[in-house]
Structure 1
Amino acid sequence: MSLPLYQAKAELFRTLGHPVRIRVLELLQDGPRPVSELLQEMHIEASSLSQQLAVLRRAGIVISTRNGSSVVYELAAADVADLMRAARRLLTEVLTDQKVLLAELNRAARPGRR
């Protein structure tokens, strides 16, 4: 018996719900990268990065290939990069709306205003 689509989507978003995993996906939007480059960009322990890459790999979001002595990761599908760009657009819109609301609240809170 397979999962209903909404549950599968929830699992996907749970998998994406870690800052290190999101950063990895952002970095991989520009193309495949060896683990050494990811480590250099992210400034985290190798064991932590390895753990998060394994989660993404098990979920089928990234794929890995061995290139000599290094392991290279890439996005499993271009749709993953599209999802990251959509999230950025959504956040930009939400934060812009919040900024406008905050400005309105600040104006309303000034003395002499009701």
Structure 2
Amino acid sequence: MSVPLYQAKAELFRTLGHPVRIRVLELLQDGPLPVRDLLSAIDVEASSLSQQLAVLRRAGIVSATREGATVVYALSTPDVARLMAATRWILAELLAGQGELLAELRAEA
């Protein structure tokens, strides 16, 4: 039996619903990165980052390749980067009255 589309969408949003996972996706928008670069850009323990990367990988949102001893992560599809951009746009619209956050959102674009 197949899962209804609305349920699949809800599961995708649950998968995205963690700050570390969102930060990983933001960092990967510019291209693949090794774990060490992700770790240096995100203030979390290596074990926590590894756990969050595993969630994204199991959901098919990111892919991992091994280059020697280094694991490199990438977005599985450019659509993920477009989703991150759409999210920034929606937040900018919703928060238009909140100047400081709006300025930060626009600086990321």
Scaled by the length of structure 2, the TM-score of the pair is 0.88
What does residue 64 of structure 1 align with? 64
What does residue 104 of structure 2 align with? none
3-state SS of paired residue (1:7): helix
Structure 2 unpaired stretches of 5+: 100-109
Identity %: 71
Query: Within 1, Cα distance between the matches of 2:71 and 2:26?
Result: 18
What does residue 94 of structure 1 align with? 94
Query: Within 1, Cα distance between the matches of 2:44 and 2:4?
Result: 36
Tell me the number of residue pairs that the alignment of Structure 1 and Structure 2 aligns: 99
3-state SS of paired residue (2:65): strand
Query: Within 2, Cα distance between the matches of 1:92 and 1:40?
Result: 28
Give deviations 1:28-68, integer Å, cap 9, x for gaps: 00000000000000021000000000000000000000011
Query: Within 2, Cα distance between the matches of 1:93 and 1:44?
Result: 30
Query: Within 2, Cα distance between the matches of 1:92 and 1:81?
Result: 17
Matched letter for residue 22 of structure 2: I
Scaled by the length of structure 1, the TM-score of the pair is 0.85
Structure 1 unpaired stretches of 5+: 101-114
Query: Within 2, Cα distance between the matches of 1:3 and 1:14?
Result: 15
Query: Within 1, Cα distance between the matches of 2:27 and 2:17?
Result: 16
